[in-house]
Structure 1
Amino acid sequence: MRLLPTKQCQAGMRLGKGIYNEEGIILLGINVSLTDHLINRLLQLGIDYLYIQDPNTDDVEIKSPLSEQTRFKAITEIRNNFRSLMDQAASKRAVKNPTLGKSFNNVLQNIIDELSDHKEALIMLTDINVMNNYIYNHSLNVAIICISLGITHGYSRNDLFALGLGSILHDIGKTKVPSELLTLNRAFTPEEYKEMQKHTVVGYQLLKDEPNIPLLAAHCAFQHHERIDGSGYPRGIKGEEIHDFAKWIAIADSYDAMTNHRPYRTAMLPHEAMEVLYGSAGSLYDRKKVAMFRDNVAIYPLGLTIKLNTGEKGVVTQINPNYPQRPTVRIFETADGKAAQPIYEIDLSQKHTLLIESVNPV
């Protein structure tokens, strides 16, 4: 299958992956034929990319890092706990949540098990065919990225659990932020941004005294917007003052935010988000951690259409774990703009003079 910008899709193309809502209910199934109306509706709902069936790439299989069952259970727990806190905020009740930490125990253990079983796998573009409340999937995606990096880093099982819990709950303070700020279809004004910044302090206050929540998880909520050079918030701490877990979450949080649709901008592709992160390595983000992230993320996802510096066009069909920036591409159009006869593949890890010049060429 191929990964195409939704706005490049045409009526008659068939979905290669189904589209789900936040409840895990399928809204558009695999094989559904797109119409102009469906394409416009998907764009309105914030789905910027689609997996499309293509006979030239039938063998390209896009696998999720987690099983559907584990992802569904995780999203359900996140949604239920976050909604409960939002309801409390709406009713101005302050209630302890002694089951908050326990409710994520089994889910996190399953996530760690599944990611550990495939620890050689690269971090792929997160599920883009899901219509959801951004905060729920974002929390899970950040946990998946951080746990994957933690496994590569060599953290113990206990540390992976603490990092995973801190990742899932890093934005829990947003449950107390005015709901209208979470659904704005534009960038924040300075006053709104200042209000939104409070979610770090609120998150820390929500978690620090909760039974079954490690204090470290509370500090993940507190520190995930701090930056290496001291330009972050809420306290402006820097360097070694910031806990390592919060440094991992800062990278994953920024990356997932950039690669997901927001009401005021379209989603970036992984290589674009990676450029932003790398440009800020050493100032905003820990340089060594960004380098490890770069080496473990598939910056050119499977199915992505690319153009080489030779003018040839093709689709990414295989990721090289040792050189994720240099995948194997299946060429369908030659440098002179003619259909390749026959179609052929190039392993960029073996062809060092060839470079990916652009993605999604028209």
Structure 2
Amino acid sequence: MRLISLEVLQPGMVIAKTIWNEAYRPLLQKDVVVSQGIIERLKQLNIKYVYIDDKISNGIEVHESIPIEVRMAAIKKITESFHKLKGVEGKKASYVLDQQSGEIGKLIDGLLESILKSTEMLTILTDSYIYDEYLYQHSFQVTLYSLAIAKELGLTYDEMKLIGTGAILHDVGKIQIPSTVLFKPGRLTDEEFELIKQHTTFGFDILRNLHSISLLVAHCAFQHHERLDGSGYPRGLTEKDIHPYAKIIAVADVFDAITSDRVYRDRMLPAQGIEIIESGSGKIFDSKVVEAFKRSVVHYPNGTIVLLSDGRRGVVAKQNLQDAAHPVIRIFEENNEILRSTYILNLEEHLHIAIEKIETDYLAHAE
């Protein structure tokens, strides 16, 4: 299977990956033959990419990092928890959340079980899941990335559980931001942006009054927008004053934000998001956290068409666990001509060859 932009999806192509909604129901089943009606429906759903089956990607698989039933159960629990807090303020909000702490703990345990026994890097399954509200998906994704970083850093189970809880609840303060501001499609005014920034303080105030959850979780919400150079908010803290857990969640939060669709812009692909994170390493993001993150997340997902620096074109066939930036490529085109038979090129063994471009809009001549 391979990843393709909806802009070049054509009738007759075959869907390779089921698309699910938030109720764990398939919106579009694997093996369905695409029609013009399906394309129009996907556009209405704001789908940007789908996985298809074709000759050049035959046999290439994209594996789930987290079982779908675990993912859906987790997002359902996050949704329920946040919904119960809507319209509730002050210590009452803390009390409501306190009553759910046991379930949140079980949720983290389930995610940790999957992540700790997995020997693979996290893969982003672009547009395989459709949710009504970005906040819940974002909270889940940030938790996954944060736990993967913590695992790579060699933290203990108890430390990982605290980070996971902090990640799930890092944006809980956004429930007190009016949706007209939170999901505004246009540019925010200075006053609106100042209000958005208050979600860190709102979250801290809710979480610091919990009796069943560590105060460190509150500081994760308070500090995840702080930056090493003091350019962050709400207090403009510098490196020495930012908690290590918040430094982890900061990287996970930014990466998920730029690789997800937002009301004001389209997503970037993983490699593009990683490049942005890397550009801030040691300046605004902790360099050890960035390096751990780069080792934890797939840069070029299986099934991605790439153009190489020597002009060859191929599809990512396999990951190199020790070098995520240099995957194994199935070469199918040279000098702009489709080869009669493909061959494998392991970029880890050819470091002088770089990936120049990701081509989700590529169409083979045979298509």
Query: TM class by shorter-chain length?
Result: over 0.9
Counterpart of 1:81 in structure 2 is 81
Distance 1:184 1:19 in 2: 26
Q: In the alignment, which residue of structure 2 is the partner of 1:4?
A: 4
CA distance in 2, matches of 1:32, 1:220: 43
Percent of aligned pairs with the same amino acid = 33
What is the Cα deviation at residue 160 of structure 1? 0.7
The equivalent residue for 2:338 is 339
Partner of 2:365: none
The answer to whether the 8 A contact 1:47-1:129 is kept is no
Q: Which residue in 1 is equivalent to 2:200? A: 200
Q: TM-score, normalised by structure 2?
A: 0.93
The alpha-carbon deviation at position 245 of structure 1 amounts to 0.5
Deviates more, 1:264-273 or 1:215-224: 264-273
Look up the SS of the partner of 1:175 in the other structure: helix
SS at 2:250 equivalent: helix
Task: Give the SS at the match of 2:329.
Answer: strand
Q: Structure 1 residues 188, 45: CA separation in 2 closer, same or farther (over 3 Å shift)?
A: farther
Tell me the residue number matched to 1:311: 311
Query: Residue 277 of structure 1 contacts residue 290 of structure 1 at CA under 8 Å; is this kept in 2?
Result: yes
What is the deviation of 1:124?
Answer: 1.6
Shift of 1:127: 5.0
Give, in whole Å, the separation in 2 of the partners of 1:40 and 1:192.
34
**Correspondence for 2:123:** 124
Asked whether the equivalents of residues 101 and 211 of structure 1 are also in contact (C-alpha less than 8 Å), the reply is no
Please say if residues 50 and 126 of structure 2, whose CA atoms lie closer than 8 Å, have aligned partners that are also in contact. no
Per-residue deviation, residues 277-318 of structure 1 (Å, max 9, x unmatched)? 111112211122112212222111111000112211110000
In structure 2, what is the equivalent of residue 21 of structure 1? 21
Residue 154 of structure 1 and its aligned partner are, at CA, apart by 1.1
| SS class of match (2:307) | strand
Q: Contact (CA 8 Å) 1:12, 1:35: kept in 2 or not?
A: yes
Could you tell me the TM-score, scaled by structure 1's length?
0.94
Q: Secondary structure at the match of 2:314?
A: strand
Q: How does 1:1-362 map to 2 (within 5 A)?
A: 1-88=1-88, 96-97=95-96, 98-118=98-118, 120-126=119-125, 128-132=127-131, 133-335=133-335, 337-360=336-359, 362=362
- CA distance in structure 2 between the aligned counterparts of 1:193 and 1:122, rounded to whole angstroms: 35
* Secondary structure of 1:20's aligned partner: strand
Q: Which amino acid aligns with 2:249?
A: I
Q: CA deviation at 1:30?
A: 1.0
Q: Name which of structure 1's ranges 306-315 and 54-63 shifts more when overlaid on structure 2.
A: 54-63
- Worse-matched range after superposition: 186-195 or 129-138: 186-195
Distance 2:255 2:125 in 1: 10
* Whole-Å separation in 1 of the counterparts to 2:126 and 2:217: 25
> Any conservation in 1 of the 2:62–2:301 contact (CA below 8 Å)?
no
Give 1:347 deviation, angstroms: 0.8
CA contact 1:46–1:262 (8 Å) conserved in 2: no
| Structure 2 gap ranges (5+) | 363-367
Q: Structure 1, residues 209-229: CA drift from partner, whole Å, max 9, x if none?
A: 112121111110000000000
How far the C-alpha of 1:103 sits from its partner, in A, is 1.6
- Mark the CA change 1:189 to 1:41 in structure 2 (over 3 Å): closer, same or farther: farther
Question: 2 CA distance for matches of 1:58 and 1:102?
Answer: 45
- Alignment partner of 1:344: what SS? strand
Out of 351-360 and 233-242, give the one that drifted further.
Answer: 351-360
